[in-house]
Chain A
Amino acid sequence: MGKYWNEEIECMEPDKMRALQSERLVKQVRHVWDNVPYYRAKMEEKGVTPDDIKGIEDLHKLPFLSKADLRDAYPFGLLAKPLSECVRIHSTSGTTGKRVVAFYTQNDIDLWNDCTARAITAAGGTKEDVVQVAYGYGLFTGGAGLDGGSHKVGCLTLPMSSGNTERQIQFMEDLGATILCCTPSYAAYIGETVKKMGKSPDDLKLKAGIFGAEPWTEEMRQEIEKSLGIKAYDIYGLTETSGPGVAFECECQKGMHINEDNFIAEIIDPDTGEPLPDGTKGELVFTAITKEAFPLLRYRTRDICVLTRGKCACGRTLVKMAKPMGRSDDMLIIRGVNVFPSQIESVLLKLSNASPNYQIVVGRENNTDTFEIRVELTDEMWNDTIRSIEELERKIAQDMLSVLGIKAKIRLVEPNTIPRSEGKAKRVIDTRNLV
């Protein structure tokens, strides 16, 4: 096995790649037009028909899809294949309102596994390797995505899922895992636990890690590499487009190669929607050109980043995306889970007639995100007993957990203690410095 999983694609001449993308795009637009009335209506509204899309140069004529569309069309409105052709769903965390359910045909799964196989190969993986998948398995795409790629490469796969860290390390040691796949914060935690257990990286056979699903910094990378004695590779993806593997890092560790044969990437101005030239910072937009069941065209990721073209030192010609530098909406990623302030607002709104003021405080301690929600206590929210306040705190914490999917520490504070600027409370304090 060489250093590429699919050399022909990964090192394809740019003109050839564009031609391939064009051909696939034209076919995909027709497929969506014929099978997804929701998107067809959007095209009609813009006065575009499949005949107008003759190649990638016409991509900008197509309407955008956003998270709001996914919510409107939930659950089947964007499905382009009969359910009988679908074999799997995955879903993002979040409220029912914000939940995204993505469908996959067997072919979609195969293509997705192919993407993660490229990522594993780029991280030095071959069939001789033992891959420990410590991403969560289940609705989350992390576990299934890397698991599938690992099988495809032919690695011995340890489907550990996340959690039970000492057992993870025991398996890692006993079975000689060579590649670890999980969120970067969990990798950092595993690194600390190795040390706490009195072991060193020398006790492990790990050589590489593939880490994604949440933002992480260069400093964190160095820390993880040191604590586990590995080279750490970034991976990017989102449930809407399949999952991890939309883009992956090569040994140069300078940006992630986008699997352009499956996804056309664009950078747009988040305010005007106009496409921006390569090298300009803007919002990342993906068009899935090979997906059958859930083929999103011009899906706005809300991630702000930069695309760079040109042949990489690794030999790949696939366009590279920088680590996302922020969001064009107010979404937060906390412990790998997507959190919108509006979800928090909806929970609080149910507690009192007037939505109380609140503030989200996110930080990082020992490489794990801390998440506190401060809520200003209003007169009608309590009677004069401590029990009533503690019960309120407990209730808010429970409601938040069921809506957000992660635990938050609830702190009730006195009125007017959350700082306001120009009358508007500052909703989010994020001290993680991840950009």
Chain B
Amino acid sequence: MTVKQISIFAENRPGRISNITHLLAVNGINIRAMSVADTKDFGILRFIVNDADKAVAALKEGGCTVSVSNVLAIQIPDRPGGLAAAMQVLYDNNVSVEYMYSAFVSEKSAEAYLILRADSNEAAEQAFEGRYHLLSQEELLTK
């Protein structure tokens, strides 16, 4: 089970993040998780949103280079060692993480949520099976 992630290529210049998030805002899109990866000349903004299709359309309309990919949303216990245990499972199963970031959580929850892209998402799914709960798109949006 994977969720849709949208990635945006952004040059390093003032106003880009502001402009992109503004596009999402005016289209009524709620961001559920995000990360920014940066290099010297450019960055990649990655979002999990409540309506990926609408977000992609809005961003393309706004002139952005957008790519859609599938990533895993995994639920882990929000306590010391919670992440380490999940990573151990991937390592034991020879799965590499390409990138990973945390999703927004409510303070009340005892769980944390992690967005993760592996070299093989299927292998990662199998590795987590029975051990960790992977969230569906709908589920992620209601947390």
Interface string of A386-401 (1 = CB under 8 A from B): 1001100000000000
Residue of A nearest to B99 (CB): A385
Interface residues of B in 36-79 (CB under 8 A from A): 37, 39, 41-42, 44, 46, 60, 63-67, 69
| B10 close to A (CB within 8 Å) | yes
**Category for how many chain B residues contact A:** 20 to 34
Residues on B with beta carbons closer than 8 Å to the beta carbon of A416: 63
Residue of A nearest to B10 (CB): A414
- Those 7 A-B pairs whose CB atoms lie nearest each other, nearest first: A384-B7, A384-B67, A416-B63, A384-B69, A377-B65, A414-B11, A377-B9
Q: Residue B37 contacts which of A379, A386, A415 (CB distance < 8 angstroms)?
A: A386
A415/B5 contact (C-beta < 8 A), A386-B37, A386-B39 known = no
Residues on A with beta carbons closer than 8 Å to the beta carbon of B64: 414-415
| B129 close to A (CB within 8 Å) | no
Residue of B nearest to A409 (CB): B41
A382–B37 alpha-carbon span in the complex (Å): 15
Q: Residue B42 contacts which of A379, A384, A389 (CB distance < 8 angstroms)?
A: A389
| A411 close to B (CB within 8 Å) | yes
A382/B41 contact (C-beta < 8 A), A414-B10, A417-B11 known = no
| A383 close to B (CB within 8 Å) | yes
Residues on B with beta carbons closer than 8 Å to the beta carbon of A111: none
Q: Residue A382 contacts which of B11, B65, B99 (CB distance < 8 angstroms)?
A: B65
A413–B63 alpha-carbon span in the complex (Å): 12
| A157 close to B (CB within 8 Å) | no
A414/B63 in contact, CB under 8 A: yes
B67/A379 in contact, CB under 8 A: yes
Distance from B60 Cβ to chain A, minimum over Cβ atoms (Å): 8
Residues on B with beta carbons closer than 8 Å to the beta carbon of A414: 9-11, 63-65
| B98 close to A (CB within 8 Å) | yes
Residues on A with beta carbons closer than 8 Å to the beta carbon of B5: 384
Interface residues of A in 393-428 (CB under 8 A from B): 411-417
A413/B98 in contact, CB under 8 A: no
Distance from B115 Cβ to chain A, minimum over Cβ atoms (Å): 12
Residue of A nearest to B68 (CB): A384
Q: Residue A384 contacts which of B11, B39, B46 (CB distance < 8 angstroms)?
A: B46
Given contact pairs A382-B65, A389-B42, enumerate 5 new A-B contacts (beta carbons under 8 Å): A382-B67, A389-B9, A412-B9, A414-B63, A417-B11
Interface string of B101-137 (1 = CB under 8 A from A): 0000000000000000000000000000000000000
Chain B interface mostly helix, strand, loop or mixed? strand
**Residue among B7, B37, B39, B67 having the largest count of chain A Cβ atoms under 10 Å:** B67
B11/A413 in contact, CB under 8 A: yes
| A368 close to B (CB within 8 Å) | no
B11/A383 in contact, CB under 8 A: no
Interface residues of A in 349-398 (CB under 8 A from B): 377-379, 382-386, 389-390
Distance from A415 Cβ to chain B, minimum over Cβ atoms (Å): 6
Residues on A with beta carbons closer than 8 Å to the beta carbon of B99: 385
Distance from A296 Cβ to chain B, minimum over Cβ atoms (Å): 45
Distance from A143 Cβ to chain B, minimum over Cβ atoms (Å): 37
B65/A379 in contact, CB under 8 A: yes
Distance from A34 Cβ to chain B, minimum over Cβ atoms (Å): 59
A324–B34 alpha-carbon span in the complex (Å): 55
A274–B55 alpha-carbon span in the complex (Å): 59
Interface residues of B in 1-45 (CB under 8 A from A): 5, 7, 9-11, 37, 39, 41-42, 44
A378–B67 alpha-carbon span in the complex (Å): 10
A137–B44 alpha-carbon span in the complex (Å): 45
A378–B65 alpha-carbon span in the complex (Å): 6
6 A-B residue pairs with CB within 8 Å: A378-B65, A382-B9, A382-B65, A384-B7, A389-B9, A413-B11
Residues on A with beta carbons closer than 8 Å to the beta carbon of B39: 386, 390
Distance from B118 Cβ to chain A, minimum over Cβ atoms (Å): 12
A324–B85 alpha-carbon span in the complex (Å): 71
**Residue among B9, B39, B69 having the largest count of chain A Cβ atoms under 10 Å:** B9
Residues on A with beta carbons closer than 8 Å to the beta carbon of B46: 384
A417–B16 alpha-carbon span in the complex (Å): 12
A413–B65 alpha-carbon span in the complex (Å): 10
Residue of B nearest to A378 (CB): B65
Interface string of A300-318 (1 = CB under 8 A from B): 0000000000000000000
**Residue among A390, A414, A415 having the largest count of chain B Cβ atoms under 10 Å:** A414
A94–B132 alpha-carbon span in the complex (Å): 58
Residues on A with beta carbons closer than 8 Å to the beta carbon of B67: 379, 382-384
A416–B11 alpha-carbon span in the complex (Å): 12
A414–B19 alpha-carbon span in the complex (Å): 13
Distance from A102 Cβ to chain B, minimum over Cβ atoms (Å): 41
A412–B99 alpha-carbon span in the complex (Å): 22
Residue of B nearest to A417 (CB): B11
